[in-house]
Structure 1
Amino acid sequence: MIEKQSKHPFNVYLTAGEYIKVIGTQDGHFPDFGHHIANEMGGAWLHPIKLLDGFWLRITDLDREISVWSKADEFISHPWGNQFRYDHNLGHIPVAVERTQFAPELEKGFIARYELFNYSKTETRLNLELLARTDLRPVWFSETLGIRDGKEDVMEKKSDRLALAKDSENDWFVLIGTDLPGDRFDSGQLFGPEFTSGNGRGVKFEATVTLQPQERMTFHLYVAGSYVSKEECEKTYSALAGNYDELLEAKMRACEAVRERAELEVEGEPEFNEIFAWVKWNNQWLVQQVDGYGRGLTAGSPTYPWWFGCDNSYSLQGVLALGDHQLAKDTARLIHDASVKANGNGRIIHEVTTMGAVSNTGNTQETAHYIALVWEMYRWIGEKSILEQNITYCEKGMDWLLGEMDPDGDLLPSGYGIIEIAGLNMELIDSAVYTAKAVQALASMNRELGDKAKAAHYSELAERIVRNVNEMYWNEREGLYADAVAPKKDIVPKVDFMVSLAERRGADDYRAYLEKILDEVEDENEDRGWIINKNWVISTPMEAGIADREKGERAIANMRNEDFIGEYGSYLSGNFTHHMMTISTGVHAVAEARYGHAEASLDLLKRMNRSFSKVLPGSMSEMSPDYGCVVQAWTVYAMVVPVVSHFIGLQPEAYKNQLVIRPNLPSSWEGKWIRLKNVRVGSANVDVSVKSDNGRLFAEIRNESGLEVTVSWNGKTATSRESSITVQL
């Protein structure tokens, strides 16, 4: 299986199962860091609680009188876990150490395996101290639910090689044990090479061993937790202890299953194929289960390890295209239920922690985006229950958008969108675009559910909103869509604040820019479009297919330059060309592909892929190229949707047992086979291979479940239900 190596010791890594997340630095240590919970975002987490600040190994060469806390020279990232190699950083101790750790996919614990090798020609006597430090505490924002960290962790020695810690005021437990030889044990206010914050305690297992020349020895650290009971914690520990090989094999099989689902092979593009595979694994790392609450895709590690409405309205589109229908359903259900509980009026929450605390009840954009997502889920999965479970809340959401959030009745909702910048809470382009998509989705949903009157109502409403978007947001002079619609009188009071933000980004001429566009407008009260920042969301009319064809083509062409695109993808703002995200690049790439410009779309993806492994080997950071979360969920949208839904061109209608394949292949892939194996449409798994060569399309489809497959290319179509389909158009 693929591995990625790094020698950047202070970068963060992630070891993940669906329950456990272990976060430290690539030198094998666990420094304090983080801002949601100051200095507490690392360590070992069993959401919604933290278990450990970290664990460390101290090695003392008794003959040479050298003692060091082991620090890794090399870090290796695998889809299933991580390895740390220690050699040079042990100084003159003639021992090499390798630490391998992983979290079983569905256990509430993890295992670290140490292997020591005496590479000298003489025996070496070592004293080994394996130290772990607990820190049982709740996730961020839990105090709003009345849940608080206890004053201390209470440590109980269970045996010479096993300790149980409990939070003094909550039923939170962690068991820490080892099979290190010997019987020396200590606990209390013990620290390793780093002083860590919190109310935890240390436990130390110590042993003296002698290694003969070329001899190896291994031992393990086992950590199990529970936010329910001591009995559950003990049950998990029993499942871990002594079962390293069996559990690791199962973990590798789970990772292999992820690789095999929607497996991409672009002929002659090994790097692109490899990154596509890693994005799927990254996505799995971010799945979080919390018993009694739910299972869903979190936003990013280590900063946003909980669930978001906005992020998932993008991310789940990629998840659906990869065929992980259960994850899409689980996540959408979690977001829906949290929204009903927190709001009840159709509004979709922005974020909910793993303890169930909602810190933001929802920005305008994500309600509309979620409604559109429900229809996308139905297209891929085909289960009518998806519509039945969501339709009432989605219709409430539309009433909220076009009622409370649209006081002037122009069908363009107000409030914050994806760009959460204080002051930018006007009629924003992304909220308007996704409202149009949402109304189109509601028309389709009601049509499927047999309510023709509602379907007709929403269809007519969608036409009006699409028309409004193209009239109100279009700037003819710039040939771009505007960031926002508002009267001048609403913009003027925000100028000083927006200028202060711009100046912090180094845009000293921004005041002059704003004053110029304001001076050109005489009517203080008339709604009009404003190109305030050229934020990346001005791509959304094209990404969503809402833009008039001619306007969309002009806008895309006018964004294909250095004002909007940098070395690693699309800037967050065309006015402040500094910062990029995988989502800004992904939305731009989908916009290019939807309007037929596959090569321009591929160029954006290849720029984004330059950030691959910059920080965490095998991953792309949230902010391109190298900061923010080291793993980010919406990267799956950016990488997968352009490739699967546009280049290969899969357009599913699972509810009809149909699949349309409408390829739009990059010119640089001319003459190459693009193969997507084991992609799921409804209950069917299909393999799709396409190639364009000299103006002709060649397609091969494995279709053993009898889908009605239609291949469309340059106005020609071919339809078949055969189990093996070969097409030349």
Structure 2
Amino acid sequence: MINKTTKHPFNLYYNAGEFVKICGTQDGYFPDFGHHIANEMGGVWLHPIKLLDGFWLKITDLDRGISLWSRADAFTNESWGSAFDYGHGLSHIPLTMKRTQFAPELEKGMMAGYKLHHKGQGELRLKLELLARTDLRPVWFSDEIGIHDGVQDEAVQINSRDVLVKDSGNDWYVMIGTDLPGEEVECRPDLYGPEFTAGNGCGVKFSAEIRIPAEGDFEFHLFVAGSYASAEGCRETYRSLEQDYERMLREKQSAYDAVAKRAQLVIDGEDKFNEVFNWVKWNNQWLIQQVDGVGRGLTAGGPTYPWWFGCDNTYSLQGVLAIGDHQLAKDTLDLLLRKSEEANGNGRFIHEVTTMGAVSNPGNTQETAHYIAFVWEMFRWTGDEVLLRRHYAYCVKGIDWLLGEMDPDGDLFPSGYGIIEIAGLNMELVDTAVYTAKALQAMTEMSRYLQDEGNHERYRLLADRCAAAINERFWIESEELFADAVAPKKDIVPKADYMTSLAHDQGIAGYREYLSGLLAEAGNEEEDRGWLLNKNWVIVTPMETGIAEPDKARRALDKMRSDVFIGEYGTYLSGIYQQGTMTISTGVHAVAEAANGNPDEALDLLGRMIRSFSYVLPGSMAEMSPDYGCMVQAWTVYAVAVPVVRHFFGITPFAARKELVIKPQLPSAWKGKRCSMERLVVGDAEFDIQLEETAGSQSISIRNEACWNVTVEWNGRQVQSSEANIELKL
């Protein structure tokens, strides 16, 4: 396991099982923060409800008369949990302390363990006060569907060392307890620790007086269990946690070790990149959320977006396939499909669904197209024909919705919001057009495979027409770039003031003059033309997907390698604004470079992105580089895994046919080094692949125990083999 000590003790951390999420600051505290539910996004959550605002420990040295709330001065992040060290923070008390905590992977609870060490002489007499603050309340957007927080949390069972608390208006429960010695317990609404927290909760405090001999240790634990259904279920989880937490920790550590070993990347001499790849897989595991009666799937980011998104997952799940967690990809897409059918039913793919099961946004245009394109990718990796047929039926509706209701002028460019959700920019956008073309290509392949001859030829012709139209109408020859949007001048003029005000609010000078220049060049009021309104990062999507014609792809990528588009941490969200960088903007740009035969440029972008690794949370990269937004974000797995697996190693599978194509293109920095990917999962098979490229020669070793038909294309040569162990020198 890898651990790191933070340099930023007041930054956030995220501990997670598939049910429970814990979020506080790296000094061990739990301040209020968040905007979806104001001041309520931290603490301990059992989605779709919150359990605790937090927990704190007060230590009193009875002989010295010193009393303080313990605050950590060092933080260590492990893949499976966290540790807090209090070596220097226990002022004038001869004591050190370590707190270790984790959420079991498949239990509705958590455990925090405390180990105190007396580093002085004689006997140390202490009073310990362990306080937790409940806050049973529902997730964001619950009020809109008629589910409301109760007036107060109420203690319904108080024992000397465990307390059961219920929300007054709902069957939501949390049980808090400890193995501290003694009988003293308090529970009341006005009982707080060192932080005053929002909400209708109550404080629960366990107190004990203890003695520690010189150089002696004392250990105790906090247990928290929850239920969004029944008191009995809460008690049952609590007893299980109390009795078996050591086994649960071993199982969690073993599970995370297995995650590290699946799709395990080892590039000789590239220790940091190998480390980042491992942590991205662990980060991905943190974001899995199960909710009884709703489903299991990959959430967008912690702690700000701890629910499920269509757009985020059509990116993220491509990375999930590459790292071999095919069940997660299936579960997530199944959840999103069910909710799309419930909320829409017409082929439109949802944008956002909370853990309460409420759809807050029925779907932006781009994500329906992106979903359809992803279904075929998922099938190629998993070989699950039942799943393909299930999704294909909705994909047929989705294409009809895109090219019907959302494309009234019939130009194959559906209108509406894309990935960049800027109010007013609900036009014919490049990302929507590109993913529609990709969706039509996917429908061509799906209809052929499923022998839907009635639709196959139509999809093929539409796919060709759409790709050609993008290259013709979104391409701006004078700029050597693809446009943000296609629209007539008359549709842009009414938006000019609003877009100028957005730029002004961000401190961008000269935007009105820039836009006025574009409008002056436009000429005809009614004729569609391409517009570079913001030079948004999504103009790289034609190259990411292979929709761009080769010459246009080359020229656009050359143009986008400038400081207009790329900064210290990767690709700007907007070349006009140059104020924000995300792992997704950088990742899609890296994929575009790699997909067009530029691995060095792709690796450069990834290198910029991973400069933010551990900047906020040790072992993670923030949503906004280097230090803003969610401290862990799902689509980072796309940004890291897709360039490496699909392009540097060149993996293209067709699991249903037991075929694997390997077409490596190693960055120059990796040449002369042994590059291996072990336990790569495709369908029901696993492969170990080892590559090495030196001047004038290439060698590849493949463990192919399932004896699939493997095709290697490298150095202008092509070799096929179905042997269990393949050794080639090219």
Give the TM-score of the pair, scaled to structure 1: 0.99
Partner of 2:465: 464
Match of 1:211 in 2: 212
| 1:707-722 equivalences in 2 (<5 Å) | 707-722=708-723
Which residue of 1 is the match for residue 667 of structure 2? Answer: 666
Q: Take 2:552 and 2:449, find their aligned partners in 1: how far apart are those partners?
A: 32
Q: Distance in 1 between matches of 2:514 and 2:208?
A: 69
Secondary structure of 1:127's partner? strand
Ranges in structure 1 where 5+ consecutive residues have no aligned partner: none
For the residue of structure 2 that corresponds to 1:388, the secondary structure is helix
In the alignment, the residues of structure 1 paired with residue 723 and residue 5 of structure 2 have an alpha-carbon distance, to the nearest angstrom, of 45
* More off after superposition, 503-512 vs 417-426: 503-512
Distance of 2:43 and 2:275 partners within structure 1 = 29
Once the two structures are superposed, the pairs formed by residues 9-24 of structure 1 within 5 Å of their partners are 9-24=9-24
Once the 2 structures are TM-superposed, how far is the Cα of residue 7 of structure 1 from its aligned partner?
3.4
Distance (whole Å) between structure 1 residues aligned to residue 307 and residue 356 of structure 2 = 9
Cα separation, 2, equivalents of 1:583 and 1:614: 17
CA deviation after TM superposition for structure 1 residue 605, in Å: 0.3
Q: Which residue of 1 aligns with 2:37?
A: 37
Counterpart position of 2:567? 566
Aligned counterparts, 1:498-537, within 5 A: 498-537=499-538
Q: Distance in 2 between matches of 1:172 and 1:156?
A: 12
- Work out whether 1:389 is the aligned partner of 2:352: no
Question: Which residue of structure 2 lines up, in the alignment, with residue 654 of structure 1?
Answer: 655
Match of residue 91 from structure 1: 91
Asked if the contact 1:7–1:73 (Cα under 8 Å) also holds between the matched residues in 2, the reply is: no
Q: Give a deviation string over 1:101-130, Cα, whole Å, max 9, x none.
A: 001100000000000000012221111000
What's the CA shift for 1:453?
3.2
- Match of 1:460, SS state, is helix
Q: Give the letter aligned to residue 562 of structure 2.
A: N
Structure 2 counterpart of 1:273: 274
Contact 2:172 / 2:228 at 8 angstroms: preserved in 1?
yes
1:483 lines up with 2:493 in the alignment: no
Deviation at 1:715, TM superposition (A): 2.7
Contact kept in structure 2, 1:20 and 1:103, CA below 8 Å = yes
Task: Give the 5 Å matches for 1:390-409.
Answer: 390-409=391-410
Distance 2:293 2:594 in 1: 41
For the residues of structure 2 that align with 1:145 and 1:51, how far apart are their CA atoms?
Answer: 21
SS at match of 1:359: strand
CA distance in 2, matches of 1:533, 1:249: 50
Aligned to 2:123: 123
Contact 1:543 1:594 in 2 (8 A): yes
Alpha-carbon shift at residue 292 of structure 1 (Å): 1.0
Give the AA of the match of 2:564. Answer: D
Greater Cα offset, 385-394 or 605-614: 385-394
User: C-alpha offsets along residues 638-660 of structure 1, whole Å, 9 cap, x if unaligned?
Assistant: 00000000000000011110000
User: Counterpart of 2:691?
Assistant: 690
The residue type equivalent to 1:27 in the other structure is: D
Match of 2:143 in 1: 143
Corresponding residue SS for 1:26:
coil
Alignment-derived partner of residue 55 in structure 2 = 55
% same residue: 62
Cα displacement (A) at 1:697? 2.0
Question: Whole-Å Cα distance in 2 between the matches of residues 499 and 12 of structure 1?
Answer: 35
Distance in 1, matches of 2:122 and 2:7, equals: 30
In structure 1, how many angstroms separate the alpha carbons of the residues matched to 2:443 and 2:398? 11
1:179-578 correspondence to structure 2 within 5 Å: 179-188=179-188, 189-578=190-579
Report if the CA contact (8 A) 1:164-1:175 is conserved.
yes
Matched residue of 1:25: which SS? coil
SS of 1:609 mapped into structure 2: helix
Equivalent residue number for residue 168 of structure 1: 168
Name the aligned partner's letter for residue 333 of structure 1. D
Letter in 2 for 1:481: F
d(CA) in 2 for partners of 1:133, 1:69: 15
CA distance in 1, matches of 2:507, 2:145: 41
Match of 1:590 in 2: 591
Task: Name the SS of the counterpart of 1:29 in structure 2.
Answer: coil
Equivalent position SS for 1:242: helix
Residue identity in the other structure for 1:95: L
Distance in 1 (CA, whole Å) between partners of 2:299 and 2:595 is 27
Q: Provide the C-alpha distance between the structure 2 equivalents of 1:5 and 1:403, rounded to a whole number of angstroms.
A: 54
Amino acid at match of 2:413: L
Larger CA deviation: 498-507 vs 344-353: 498-507
CA distance in 2, matches of 1:637, 1:725: 29
Distance 2:379 2:691 in 1: 25
Q: Tell me, in whole angstroms, the C-alpha distance in 2 between the residues paired with 1:623 and 1:725.
A: 42
Shifted more, 495-504 versus 289-298: the winner is 495-504
Paired residues of 2:698 and 2:715 also in contact (CA < 8 A) = no
Give the match's secondary structure for 1:520.
Answer: helix
What letter corresponds to residue 393 of structure 2 in structure 1?
T
Preserved CA contact (<8 Å) 2:570 2:609 = yes
Give deviations 1:675-720, integer Å, cap 9, x for gaps. Answer: 0000111100000111221133211000001111110013311111
In the alignment, residue 92 of structure 1 is paired with which amino acid?
H
Q: In the aligned structure 2, how far is the partner of 1:716 from the partner of 1:677?
A: 24
Quote the residue 2:609 is aligned against: 608
CA RMSD of aligned residues (A): 0.8
How many residue pairs get aligned? The number is 729
Q: Which runs of 4+ in 1 moved over 6 A?
A: none
Superposed displacement of residue 4, structure 1: 1.7
- Name the CA distance, whole Å, in 2 between partners of 1:122 and 1:194: 33
SS at match of 2:170: coil
| 2:77 is aligned with 1:107 | no
- Compute the displacement of 1:578 (Å): 1.6
Alignment partner of 1:78 is 2:74 = no
| Per-residue deviation, residues 578-618 of structure 1 (Å, max 9, x unmatched) | 21000000000000000000000000001000000010110
What is the CA distance between 1:561 and its match in structure 2?
A: 1.1
| d(CA) in 1 for partners of 2:698, 2:657 | 25
Paired residue secondary structure (2:265): strand
Structure 2 residues not aligned, in runs of 5+: none
CA shift, 1:402, in A, is 0.6
CA deviation profile, 1:435-471 (whole Å, cap 9, x unmatched): 0000110111111111223111101110000001000
Does the 8 A contact of 2:225 with 2:234 survive in 1?
A: yes
**What SS does the corresponding residue of 2:522 show, helix, strand or coil?**
coil
Cα deviation, 1:538-592, whole Å, max 9, x if unaligned, reads: 0000001100000000000000111111111100011111210000000000000
Task: Please tell me whether the aligned partners of residues 162 and 178 of structure 1 are also in contact (alpha carbons under 8 angstroms).
Answer: yes
The one-letter code of the counterpart of 2:378 is M
Matched residue SS, 1:638: helix
Alpha-carbon distance in 2 for matches of 1:698, 1:566: 36
Once residues 684 and 157 of structure 1 are traced to their aligned partners in structure 2, the CA distance between those partners, rounded to angstroms, is: 52
Letter in 2 for 1:556: L
Which one is further off, 29-38 or 709-718?
Answer: 709-718
- Other structure's SS at 2:115 match: strand
**SS across alignment from 1:366:** helix
Provide the C-alpha distance between the structure 2 equivalents of 1:156 and 1:419, rounded to a whole number of angstroms: 48
Cα deviations by residue, 1:187-229 (Å, 9 ceiling, x for unpaired): 1021000001111001000001111110101000000000011
Moved more, 600-609 or 450-459: 450-459
Structure 1 counterpart of 2:152, one-letter code: E
Is the CA contact (8 Å cut-off) linking 2:557 and 2:593 kept in structure 1?
A: yes
Q: How many Å separate the matches in 2 of 1:67 and 1:416?
A: 56
Within 2, Cα distance between the matches of 1:438 and 1:691?
Answer: 36
Q: Which residue of 1 aligns with 2:643?
A: 642
Deviation at residue 296 of structure 1 after TM alignment = 0.2
| 8 Å Cα contact 1:70-1:89 kept in structure 2 | yes
Once residues 185 and 336 of structure 1 are traced to their aligned partners in structure 2, the CA distance between those partners, rounded to angstroms, is 48
Question: What displacement does 1:387 show?
Answer: 1.4
Matching residue's letter, 1:237: Y
